[in-house]
Structure 1
Amino acid sequence: MRGWINYYGRFYPSRLVRSLRQIDEYLIRWARQKYKRLRTSLRRTLRWLRGVKRHSPTLFAHWSQTRTALPAR
């Protein structure tokens, strides 16, 4: 994943940001299906994901190598 980010970041940075946001959207969808308390509120899910990102910034490669914002809804 890091190699892909490095390559795309050099040649297609605007496309890279869109792709990484898509990964975060998949994580949001996964969390809403896994945790009952997140199913009803997108705002709560975004807050949860920001907290995970703040506490474990190296959990996913795209969190540690880039500064993409979480998807806005």
Structure 2
Amino acid sequence: MSATVRSWRLHLRVNSTEADLARMINPVVRGWMAYYGAFYRHGLHPLPHRISTYLLRWIMNKYKRLSNWKKATRAMRDAVARHPRYFAHWALAKPAVR
């Protein structure tokens, strides 16, 4: 799973909107959640953190005013508060923000 997430190269898709990213990754993540959630729940543990890290890097690359971790994590926290079901992996665990 993590190799697949890495191959998406989310952090480099600065021309995409968050809706484009959600449309791209949500069906795959929901499938993983359905399968691994039933048969190998422990295998899902690193998934939300990995995807959230790539989304934070995407935020930092797309929005130059959010180019440090503190501002990017605050923006991610605000996005989760506004739209808690926007990305499928947020149902597993909310992004860890400092």
Is the contact between residue 60 and residue 66 of structure 2 (CA under 8 Å) also seen in structure 1? yes
Is the contact between residue 9 and residue 16 of structure 1 (CA under 8 Å) also seen in structure 2? yes
The superposition leaves residues 14-55 of structure 1 with CA deviations (integer Å, 9 ceiling, x where unpaired) of 33120121000110010000001111x211111110110110
Is 1:70 the counterpart of 2:95? The answer is: yes
Is 1:36 the counterpart of 2:76? The answer is: no
1:58 CA drift (Å): 1.5
Q: Secondary structure of 2:84's match?
A: coil
Structure 2 CA distance, aligned partners of 1:71 and 1:12?
23
Partner of 2:81: 54
Identity %: 39
Residue identity matched to 2:80: K
Q: Which has the higher contact order (CA 8 A, sep 6+)?
A: 1
Partner of 1:5: 33
Partner of 1:22: 50
The runs of 5 or more residues in structure 2 that have no matched partner are 1-28
Runs of 4+ with >3 A deviation: none
What's the RMSD between the two structures over aligned residues?
Answer: 1.8
Residue identity matched to 1:3: G
**Paired residues, what number?**
70
Residue identity matched to 1:70: P
Give the TM-score normalised by structure 1: 0.79
The runs of 5 or more residues in structure 1 that have no matched partner are none
